Chain A
Amino acid sequence: MIKDITFGQYYPGKSLLHRMDPRMKLVLTFFLIVVLFVSKNFFALCLVSLITLIASLLSSVPQKMMLKSIKPVLIILLFTAALNIFYTKGGATYLEWGKLVITEKGVNTAIFTIIRIVTLVVLSSLLTYTTTPTMLTDGLERLLSPLKILHIKVDTLAMMMTLALRFIPTLIEEIERIMNAQKARGADLETGNLIERAKALIPIFVPLMVSSFRRAYELAFAMTCRCYTGGDGRTRMKQMKLSLRDFICLFVCLAVLAGVILLNIKFGSIFEV
């Protein structure tokens, strides 16, 4: 069912990660992803993965949910691993079977890529698991606020994002309702070729558009009634404040970067022969 798609997959909690400033969380997640791609050998990579693992354990998000976030990328994972195994050549040959040759370097690269992708997914999931969508957009808005100098309406953009996120579950429910109504009129959504199937979507798409516009008008009206006039002069209920824990996390991440650079220099890159 469509409902199973989790979006804005916030997991309520009071951990260190939950209490961090969303701005710092956004910056550090991005920072660690960059560090992840700077890592050139297993030692450096494992350092980043280790810190991700520690963060994940600190987050109080059940490990089962963490694994669930990896599930959607499983196919990509297997696909890249297979490509790496068969197309990277070098070092000792483990297996030779007709045109398929598996070499030491191929296996190493495949494992390296898998760890890298998994760490990447866990890192970004940690951000969405520990931050509500509202906090996230709030943080993003604040981070992008220097763009105001260029006359970009950051607050309006952030409001649009918040609203879009808010309406995803509503729209999913709406789609299900319309689908059922049309199925009850004998609409066939499951069979037929590509063009027939695309055509079969019209009875769902049109009512969805109509009701979305209706909702948009109603929402705009409700916002106007509550005197929303854009971001200028608006104050916030929740003030963001950087605290000691944010700086400690920043320091840890900087230390990881330093460690990765040192390990890169010491052990070289696995991509070079």
Chain B
Amino acid sequence: MSPALEIKNLTHCYQPGTPMEVAAIKDANITIEKGEIVGIIGHTGSGKSTLISHFNGLLKPTKGTVLVDGTDIWSSKEALRNSRFKVGLCFQYPEYQLFEDTVFKDIAFGPKNMKLPSDEIKRRVLEASKLAGVKPEMLEKSPFDLSGGEKRRVAIAGIMAMEPEVLVFDEPSAGLDPKGRRDLNNLIKAYHKKTGSTVIIVSHSMEDIAKLVDRIIVVNKAAIAMDGTVSEVFSRSEELKSMGLNVPEITEVFARLKAMGYDVPLDVYTVEYGADRLRELLGKGVGK
């Protein structure tokens, strides 16, 4: 079985051949298997956005290849077009892409571009709105009458309705309130569980990443700096800090406790898990 997404020796330069030439991504290699849930973290301007814009052929690599489901997306026009449907890309603030007069039509935009029959489009719209938490009574409303959080759900449903094999979220919870963040994280997790498709999340929030993903890719200075499991990456906290990143706050708390001499584990990345460990420790009676 070929991997869902494979990036080989990817290099992308902006304004090549001019003195202003900048490599936004240099010699990147990534393989993402089907069904994985992966986080991409990196400092602002590290090349994350350039990287993910290659996943569905919005940018053409200066060097290297992008394989979606084993096919080079730049091998033919057909393959490029298919990559748009196989890899769903949900940009930052996706609510600004809404344009139709009803929510239903807007969610149907992607499937319509896939030239699906109308009953299939309808099925997908209903399915996607359920997954994204868009209430049925909203479907006939104008997307411009909805609240910010609702708009974002509609936009996400619009991508989900294409039923992509790989779904990429760029900063999905940017600008949302704590409840909105929590709901969105749950939504992504439920989507991954239910559909079994591959999910990639780009985020600045280490807490969100720790909660959601199994594997983390760190992008720094236009190159892949780390690629490993959550515990592998977060155990290198000093390196992360030098890249302007961080580990989740709870991990930091446990590292300090350890330094103070308490017998605590260091692989704590979520508050829930941390709370359980602390309870255990208190149960045993605190001892140095």
Given the interface pairs A177-B91, A180-B58, the reply to whether A185 lies near B110 with Cβ below 8 Å is yes
- Cross-chain contact of B91 among A181, A187, A204, A210 (Cβ < 8 A): A181
Q: Is the CB of B94 within 8 A of A181?
A: yes
1/0 per residue, CB under 8 A from A, across B169-199: the answer is 0000000000000000000000000000000
CA distance A211 to B144 in the complex (A): 11
Name the distance in Å between A171's Cβ and chain B's nearest Cβ.
13
Task: Say yes or no: is B158 at the interface (Cβ < 8 Å to chain A).
Answer: yes
Task: Say yes or no: is A237 at the interface (Cβ < 8 Å to chain B).
Answer: no
Q: Is the CB of A184 within 8 A of B99?
A: no
Q: Is the CB of B58 within 8 A of A210?
A: no
Name the distance in Å between B254's Cβ and chain A's nearest Cβ.
39
1/0 per residue, CB under 8 A from B, across A229-241: the answer is 0000000000000
What residue in chain B is nearest A187 (Cβ atoms)?
B113
Q: Is the CB of B91 within 8 A of A180?
A: yes
Q: How large is the interface on A (under 10, 10 to 19, 20 to 34, 35 or more residues)?
A: 10 to 19
- Cross-chain contact of B114 among A186, A204, A207 (Cβ < 8 A): A186
Task: Say yes or no: is A269 at the interface (Cβ < 8 Å to chain B).
Answer: no
Name the distance in Å between A30's Cβ and chain B's nearest Cβ.
34
- Cross-chain contact of B96 among A178, A186, A187, A202 (Cβ < 8 A): A178
What residue in chain B is nearest A186 (Cβ atoms)?
B113
Q: Is the CB of A180 within 8 A of B53?
A: yes
CA distance A90 to B159 in the complex (A): 68
What residue in chain A is nearest B109 (Cβ atoms)?
A185
- Residues in chain A near residue B158, CB distance under 8 A: 185
Name the distance in Å between B110's Cβ and chain A's nearest Cβ.
4
- Residues in chain A near residue B38, CB distance under 8 A: none
Give the residues from 199 to 225 in chain A that come closer than 8 angstroms, CB to CB, to chain B.
202-207, 210-211
1/0 per residue, CB under 8 A from B, across A160-193: the answer is 0000000000000000011011111111100000
- Residues in chain A near residue B99, CB distance under 8 A: 202-207, 210
Q: Which of B27-35, B82-90, B128-136, B207-215 contacts A (4 or more CB under 8 A)?
A: B82-90
What residue in chain A is nearest B107 (Cβ atoms)?
A185
- Residues in chain A near residue B91, CB distance under 8 A: 177, 180-181, 184
Task: Say yes or no: is B67 at the interface (Cβ < 8 Å to chain A).
Answer: no
Given the interface pairs A181-B91, A181-B97, the reply to whether A186 lies near B85 with Cβ below 8 Å is yes
- Cross-chain contact of B97 among A186, A188, A205, A207 (Cβ < 8 A): A207
- Residues in chain A near residue B96, CB distance under 8 A: 177-178, 181, 207, 210-211
Q: Is the CB of A183 within 8 A of B53?
A: no
Q: Is the CB of A185 within 8 A of B159?
A: yes
- Residues in chain A near residue B89, CB distance under 8 A: 184
Which of A180, A202, A205 neighbours the largest number of chain B CB atoms within 10 Å of its CB? Answer: A180
Give the residues from 86 to 125 in chain B that come closer than 8 angstroms, CB to CB, to chain A.
88-91, 94, 96-99, 109-110, 113-114
Given the interface pairs A177-B91, A180-B53, A180-B58, the reply to whether A185 lies near B97 with Cβ below 8 Å is yes
Task: Say yes or no: is B236 at the interface (Cβ < 8 Å to chain A).
Answer: no
Which of B58, B109, B113, B158 neighbours the largest number of chain A CB atoms within 10 Å of its CB? Answer: B113
- Residues in chain A near residue B56, CB distance under 8 A: 184
- Residues in chain B near residue A203, CB distance under 8 A: 97, 99, 109
CA distance A203 to B98 in the complex (A): 8
- Residues in chain A near residue B144, CB distance under 8 A: 210
1/0 per residue, CB under 8 A from A, across B137-163: the answer is 000000010000000000000110010
Task: Say yes or no: is B256 at the interface (Cβ < 8 Å to chain A).
Answer: no
- Residues in chain B near residue A207, CB distance under 8 A: 96-99
- Residues in chain B near residue A180, CB distance under 8 A: 53, 58, 91
What residue in chain B is nearest A183 (Cβ atoms)?
B58
CA distance A183 to B109 in the complex (A): 11
Q: Is the CB of B113 within 8 A of A188?
A: yes
CA distance A52 to B85 in the complex (A): 55
- Residues in chain A near residue B159, CB distance under 8 A: 184-185
Q: Which residues of B contact A (CB under 8 A)?
A: 53, 56, 58, 81, 84-85, 88-91, 94, 96-99, 109-110, 113-114, 144, 158-159, 162
Known A180-B53, A184-B88; 20 more pairs at CB < 8 Å? A178-B97, A181-B96, A181-B97, A182-B97, A184-B58, A184-B90, A185-B109, A185-B159, A186-B81, A186-B84, A186-B110, A186-B113, A187-B109, A188-B113, A203-B99, A207-B97, A207-B98, A207-B99, A210-B99, A211-B96
Q: Can you list 26 A-B contacts (CB < 8 A)?
A: A180-B91, A182-B97, A182-B109, A183-B84, A184-B56, A184-B84, A184-B90, A184-B91, A184-B159, A185-B109, A185-B110, A185-B113, A186-B81, A186-B84, A186-B85, A186-B110, A186-B113, A186-B114, A186-B162, A187-B113, A202-B99, A205-B99, A206-B99, A207-B98, A207-B99, A210-B99
The 8 A-B pairs at the shortest CB distance, nearest first, are namely A186-B113, A206-B99, A181-B97, A184-B89, A185-B110, A203-B99, A186-B84, A181-B91
